[in-house]
């Protein structure tokens, strides 16, 4: 029992003194800090069973790092694959942000049709996500005025979007007719 107790103390002392360095090594192997701690703990449990077999304790760091690498590889191999083989590949869509930039440009353009007071209320309420009370305080108006101004401004924005959508459809139909006539 004395050797077993000596083994425990020897291993505990090693872990206590090398814990930070070993955790840094684990962080280099896996990006998530929680996974790194799990990896280190798993490697320590596996190493403890073989602690007596490490004759040169100065090589314990290297041994433990190898255990961490092997454990990480086992985890990677055991991961659940989300890929399902199919006969036909799905359409690949790449979100390059073009639509988001176009939407933002459209929004900035459409905000230009609002009166300055309406634009201020819309920006503070929806862009800055201020409450009605905060918006009223910032603009020096009552909450009722903020609500009615916001209501009218949003109605105006909806109308402008509908008008632009109708104009875009009319232009699209015109282009289709020109292409048909040219063919």
CATH at 122? 1.10.10.10
Per-residue pLDDT tens for 133-168?
999 998 999 999 999 999 999 999 899 888 888 777
Residue 97 lies in a domain: no
Residue 103 lies in a domain: no
Residue 100 lies in a domain: no
Residue 98 lies in a domain: no
Q: Which of 98, 108, 106 is nearest to 163 (CA)?
A: 106
Q: Answer for the pair 160, 110: CB distance below 8 angstroms, yes or no.
A: yes
Q: Is a pLDDT exceeding 60 seen at residue 88?
A: yes
The domain total for the chain is 2
pLDDT of residue 146: 94
Q: Is a pLDDT exceeding 90 seen at residue 128?
A: no
Residue 94 lies in a domain: no
Query: Domain range holding 122?
Result: 112-182
CATH at 16? 1.10.1740.10
pTM (2 d.p.): 0.43
Per-residue pLDDT tens for 27-74?
988 889 999 999 999 999 999 988 888 888 888 888 999 999 999 999
Per-residue pLDDT tens for 47-60?
998 888 888 888 88
Domain end marker among 80, 104, 131: 80
CA distance 172 to 81: 44
Beta-carbon contacts of residue 107 (< 8 Å; ≥ 6 apart): none
Q: What are phi and psi of 140, to 5 degrees?
A: 70, 45
């Amino acid at each position: 029992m004395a050797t077993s107790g000596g083994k425990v103390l020897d291993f505990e002392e090693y872990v206590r003194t090398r814990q930070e360095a070993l955790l840094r090594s684990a962080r280099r192997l896996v990006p998530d800090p929680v996974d790194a701690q799990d990896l280190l703990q798993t490697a320590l449990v596996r190493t403890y069973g073989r602690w007596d077999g490490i004759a040169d304790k100065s090589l314990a760091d290297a041994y433990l790092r190898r255990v961490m690498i092997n454990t990480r590889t086992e985890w990677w191999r055991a991961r659940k694959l989300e890929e399902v083989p199919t006969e036909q590949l799905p359409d690949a869509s790449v979100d390059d942000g073009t639509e988001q930039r176009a939407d933002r440009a459209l929004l900035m353009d459409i905000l230009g049709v609002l009166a300055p007071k309406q634009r201020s209320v819309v920006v503070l309420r929806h862009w800055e996500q201020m409450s009605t009370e905060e918006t009223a305080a910032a603009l020096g108006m009552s909450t009722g005025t903020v609500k009615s101004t916001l209501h009218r401004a949003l109605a105006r924005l909806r109308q402008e979007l509908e008008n632009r959508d109708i104009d875009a459809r009319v232009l699209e139909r015109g282009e289709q007719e020109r292409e048909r006539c040219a063919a």
